[in-house]
Amino acid sequence: MSNAPSTLDPRPSSGSASQTIADLSALADSAAEVFRKPCQFAGFWSAVALPFVYVPMLAGGLTASQQSTFALLLAAHAVALVAGHDYRND
C-alpha cells in the first residue's frame, strides 16, 4: 500500500484550463444558491418593515439633516424590493 496515491498531492491535476474554469463556475453557482435564499428573505422583510420607519419621519416633518437620512432609507427600500422580489415564488 505504499504506492497508493495521496489525496493531499500538491501537484496540479492534469485537467485542462477549461475544466478548471467550469469547476470554478460550478462552485460560484453553488455559492450563489446558498446565499440567494437568505438575501431574498432579508430583502423581502426589509421591504415590508422600512415603511414603518420612514412614515413617522414624514409625519413629523423633515429637517435639513433628516432629508439625507430619508433619501438613504428610500434607496435602501428600493434595494430591498429588488432583493426580495422573488421570495417564496418557487
pLDDT in tens, 14-44: 567 777 888 888 888 888 788 888 889 999 9
Judge whether 27 lies within some domain.
no
pLDDT reported for residue 18: 77
What single letter denotes the amino acid at residue 82?
A: V
pTM: 0.62
Chain segment 47-61, per-residue pLDDT in tens: 999 999 888 888 888
Judge whether 43 lies within some domain.
yes
More confident residue, 36 or 2: 36
Judge whether 16 lies within some domain.
no
Q: Which domain holds residue 53?
A: 36-90
The position carrying cell 470554478 is 24
Judge whether 12 lies within some domain.
no
Q: For residues 54 and 73, give the distance between their C-alpha atoms in angstroms, rounded to a whole number.
A: 7
SS3 content of the chain, % helix, strand, coil (to 5): 70, 0, 30
Distance of CA 6 to the CA centre of its chain: 37
